[in-house]
Amino acid sequence: MTYSVYQHWDPLKVCVVGRSYPPEFYSWITVPHVRNMFERMAIETEEDCQKIIKKLESFGVTVLRPNLPRATQSQGKFIAPPMTPRDHTVMVGSTFYHNFKDNFSTNYNQIKDPSWPVCDSWQQFEQLPAWIVNECAEMHGFVSPGFEYQDIFLHLQQQGNMIKQADHISGAMLARLGKDLYLGTDRYDQDPEVLKQFMDTEFPNTRNHVVNTGGHSDGTYCPVCPGLILSTQDVPTYADTFPDWEVVYLPPSDLSAVKSFADLKEKNKGKWWIPGFEKDQEVIDVVETWLGHWTGFVEETVFDVNMLIVDPKNVIVFNYNKQVFDALDRYGITAHVILFRHRYFWDGGIHCITSDLHREGTMQNYFPERL
Instruction: Encode pLDDT of 141-187 as tens digits.
Output: 555 667 789 899 999 999 999 999 887 789 999 999 999 999 998 88
Closest CA to 103 of 122, 84, 85, 116: 122
DSSP E strands in 2-106: the ranges are: 12-17, 62-64, 89-92, 95-98
Q: What is the pLDDT of residue 54?
A: 98
Query: What CA dihedral angle connects 221, 225, 227 and 233, to 10 degrees?
Result: -20
Q: What is the pLDDT of residue 103?
A: 61
Q: What is the pLDDT of residue 104?
A: 65
Q: What is the pLDDT of residue 256?
A: 46
pLDDT tens digits for 41-53? 899 999 999 999 9
Q: What is the DSSP letter of 84?
A: -
**Residue 212: HSE in the Cβ half-sphere, 13 Å Cα cutoff:** 11
Taking each helix axis from N to C end, the angle separating 130-140 and 100-111, rounded to the nearest 10 degrees, works out to 90
Q: What is the pLDDT of residue 118?
A: 86
For the 12-213+349-359 domain, the top CATH level (class) is: alpha beta
| Cα–Cα distance, 294 to 272 (Å, whole number) | 10
| Cα–Cα distance, 362 to 37 (Å, whole number) | 46
Q: What is the pLDDT of residue 341?
A: 82
pLDDT tens digits for 69-117? 765 554 456 777 899 999 999 999 999 999 876 666 666 776 677 888 8
> What are the residue ranges in the chain where pLDDT is below 70?
70-77, 101-107, 110-111, 122, 137-145, 233-237, 252-280, 282-303
Q: How many CB atoms lie within 10 A of CB 56?
A: 21
CA 30, 34, 38, 44 torsion-angle sign: positive
How do the domains of the chain map onto residue ranges? 12-213+349-359
Closest CA to 135 of 74, 57, 193: 74
Q: What is the pLDDT of residue 76?
A: 53
> In which order are the strands placed within the sheet that holds 180-184?
174-177, 180-184, 207-211
